[in-house]
Structure 1
Amino acid sequence: MEKLNKQMDDALNTKVAALNATDDETGDGKVDALDLKHQLDRVEAQLELQDQQNRALLRSQKRLLWAAIAIVVVLCLIMGGLLLRFNTAYNQVITTCAQVNEIAGTLQDSLAKLDTEQLDSMMQTLPDIADKLSQIDVDALNDVMAKLPATMDAVAQLQQQLNSVASFLGNVGSIFG
């Protein structure tokens, strides 16, 4: 047993000596405060380097996060714009379908009210109407149709001015009357 204890003590002393040998920074054969200061300086340098690396990594991740947020915002804006366009187009299609259905209903009602003699008469005049329509200058008709809204706006403005003048004259008449 004593032999085993001696072997264990020798192994422990060898291990402590090996550790002390690697801890001897100055090479003077003993571990003292100067060796500990060198080790501390080395650890601080390693920590400072690790801190710089961590800060650079955090800056990089922060930039990537902001870029991802910007991309998501841009994509949301694009999707919102597309949704608005699709909604507008859908509403226009629904409105157009309702107008077509209304016209078809009106046409069906009109045809139902016609007697067969009137319908035959209309069908006989249809080729003459088609010939007359083929003689119409389409460009001139398109030009007139393009100018029609502006003309209607001008007529509406004139109506407003006439109403304003009539109102003014009515007020003047009530003052002197």
Structure 2
Amino acid sequence: MENINEKMDAQLRTRVDELTRANDENQDGRLDAADLKAQLNRIEAQLELQDQQNRGIIANQHKRMILSVVLVAVILVVLAFFGWRINVAYNNVMAACDRVNALADTVQTSLDTLDQSQLDDMMQDLPEITEQLKKIDVDALNKVLTELPALMNTVSSLQSQVESITNWFNGLGSVFGR
């Protein structure tokens, strides 16, 4: 047993010597205050470096958090805008549907007031009217519609001249008729 104790003591001394050599900062063969001061300086430098790294990480996380908040806010604004536009479009569609329904009611009311025989007569005449409409020259019709206001002005002018001549003859007839 003593042999085992001696062996363990030798291993312990070897291990302490290894630790001493590893902790001997100034390589003078012994562990002293200068070695501890050097180790403390190295540990402080490592802590300072780690502190700078941690501050950089925190700054990056802060920037990412702000960017995320801004991005979420932008997305919410865009979604709100699209929601508003969809609501406006929906209201416009509903208003158009209401107008179409009102027109359909008006047409239905008009059809309900028609006598069935009149409606049948109109339906019988519809193919004939359609055929006549197909024969109309659209360009000529557009030309006539374009020149119609000038023609109406000319007719109105002629009508006023005819009235003036008629009034003159009436005045002349009343002078000779006395």
TM-score by length of 1: 0.68
Aligned equivalents of 1:44 and 1:4: distance in 2?
Answer: 42
Q: CA deviation at 1:118?
A: 4.2
Structure 1: give runs of 5+ residues left out of the alignment: 141-177
Aligned equivalents of 1:97 and 1:127: distance in 2?
Answer: 31
Q: Secondary structure at the match of 2:30?
A: coil
Q: CA deviation at 1:120?
A: 5.7
Structure 2: give runs of 5+ residues left out of the alignment: 147-178
Deviation string, structure 1 residues 41-91 (Cα, Å, up to 9, x no partner): 000101111111111111112111111111111111111100110111011
For the pair shown, which has the larger CA radius of gyration, 1 or 2?
2
Q: Which residue of 1 aligns with 2:30?
A: 30
Aligned equivalents of 1:49 and 1:69: distance in 2?
Answer: 30
Q: CA deviation at 1:116?
A: 3.4
| Percent of aligned pairs with the same amino acid | 42
Q: Which residue of 2 aligns with 1:114?
A: 114
Q: Secondary structure at the match of 1:17?
A: helix
Q: Which residue of 1 aligns with 2:64?
A: 64
Alignment of 1:4 with 2:4, yes or no, is yes
- What is the correspondence of 1:30-109 to structure 2 with a 5 Å cutoff? 30-109=30-109
Alignment coverage as a number of residue pairs: 136
CA RMSD in angstroms comes to 2.6
Aligned equivalents of 2:77 and 2:55: distance in 1?
Answer: 33
Q: Give every structure 1 segment of 4 or more consecutive aligned residues whose post-TM-superposition deviation is greater than 2 Å.
A: 116-128, 134-137
Deviation string, structure 1 residues 24-53 (Cα, Å, up to 9, x no partner): 112222111111110000001011111111
Q: Which residue of 2 aligns with 1:154?
A: none
Aligned equivalents of 1:13 and 1:79: distance in 2?
Answer: 74
Aligned equivalents of 2:7 and 2:64: distance in 1?
Answer: 60
